[in-house]
Amino acid sequence: MTPLTLPSPAKLNLFLHITGQRSDGYHNLQSVFQLVDLCDYLTFDISFKTLIINGMDNISSEDNLIIKAARLLQKHTGYQGGCKIELQKNIPIGGGMGGGSSNAATTLLALNHLWQTGLTLDELATLGIQLGADVPIFILGKNAWAEGVGEQLTAVNLAKIDYIVLKPACFISTKQLFSQEALTRNTPETTFAAYQQNPMHFGNNFEAIAKDLYPEVAQALAYLNQFGQARLTGTGACVFLPVQPGQDITAILQNAPCNSYFCHGLQHSPVHAQLGLV
């Protein structure tokens, strides 16, 4: 069989509120997930009898969500075959754009298709939550209103917007952010309708702390705030700005203090389009 190459899109959290802490130690949140066209690419070749992963030399097997996803699908379905998976990495690592979770989701979707294991999207999402809270959004393949730990998803329609994304030259420890006493953990619950009425009034509970702890994040936000209202995505380190008509996008990107990206907002995941799941 000819190898199959699929995209693995990134996401932005258009806002992120922590609404409470659960008895199991996890936090409830509310957010809007926006898929964007900044993508990694994974190539799958099922002519191999074992699992082989290339392109992740800097990540240990314990942290490799691609191989974890493949092994999880094997274990769940009893499939005995293998696959060689090549990763072309474009999404910033440790940026809060969901690259690792997206890679895991694309792997589950691709191997379910290639191995003909026959799981539904809901079944794959249930598997995916074992790998990470952001995996189900990429299995759903649509923009979504998120609640719970991020796994309770309701597909939503979002305006077609482009984004400028900056990746500060730092790696943010999510554990460190959650450990800060100043972190707001009791933001009142809201609704998607309320968000639609005043989206700029909805922020990210991690942003102020990330700015205080990481000067690179503060610098990137200050730069983008010259051109509009910038936000942190996830727990960072990436920050983003919705593009306004008439802005000189090229100049903003070229003069940025760190790595910069221009992204189109998506309505559907390109993985689902390629696999005929839309």
Give yes or no: residues 148 and 10 share one domain: yes
- Residue at a domain's end among 157, 173, 201: 157
What is the CATH classification number for the domain harbouring 114?
Answer: 3.30.230.10
Q: Which of 157, 183, 200 is the last residue of a domain?
A: 157
Q: Are residues 170 and 190 in the same domain?
A: yes
pLDDT over 90, % of the chain: 91
Residue 12 sits in the same domain as residue 42: yes
Q: Does residue 34 sit within a domain? A: yes
pLDDT score, position 158: 97
- Same domain for 168 and 153, yes or no, is no
Classified as helix, coil or strand, 134 is coil
pLDDT band at 278 (very low <50, low <70, confident <90, very high): confident
**Domain ends where: 157, 182, 198?**
157
Please report whether residue 108 resides in a domain: yes
Is there a domain that residue 276 lies in?
no
Task: Assign 63 a pLDDT band (cuts: 50, 70, 90).
Answer: confident
* Residue 169 structural domain: 162-264
Q: Is residue 277 part of a domain?
A: no
Model confidence at 1: pLDDT above 90: no
180 shares its domain with 244: yes
Catalytic residues: 11, 134
Tell me the percentage of the chain whose pLDDT exceeds 70: 99
> Are residue 185 and residue 108 in the same domain, yes or no?
no
Measured in whole angstroms, the distance separating CA 166 from the mean position of its chain's CA atoms is: 15
Mean pLDDT of all residues in 242-249:
97
pLDDT tens profile 184-237: 999 999 999 999 999 999 999 999 999 999 999 999 999 999 999 999 999 999
Residue 115 and residue 44 share a domain: yes
Do 68 and 148 lie in one domain? The reply is yes
Task: Give the tens place of pLDDT for each residue, 26-58.
Answer: 899 999 999 999 999 999 999 999 999 998 877
Give a yes or no: residue 195 inside a domain. yes
Specify whether 56 is located in the same domain as 88.
yes
Give me the number of domains the chain comprises. Answer: 2
58 within domain boundaries: yes
CATH number for the domain including 195?
3.30.70.890
Q: Is residue 128 part of a domain?
A: yes
Asked if 219 and 239 sit in the same domain, the reply is yes
**Residue 150 and residue 27 in one domain:** yes
Residue 273 lies in a domain: no
Q: What is the pLDDT of residue 26?
A: 84
Kindly state whether residues 142 and 209 are assigned to the same domain.
no
Rounded Cα gap, residues 20 and 29, in angstroms: 7
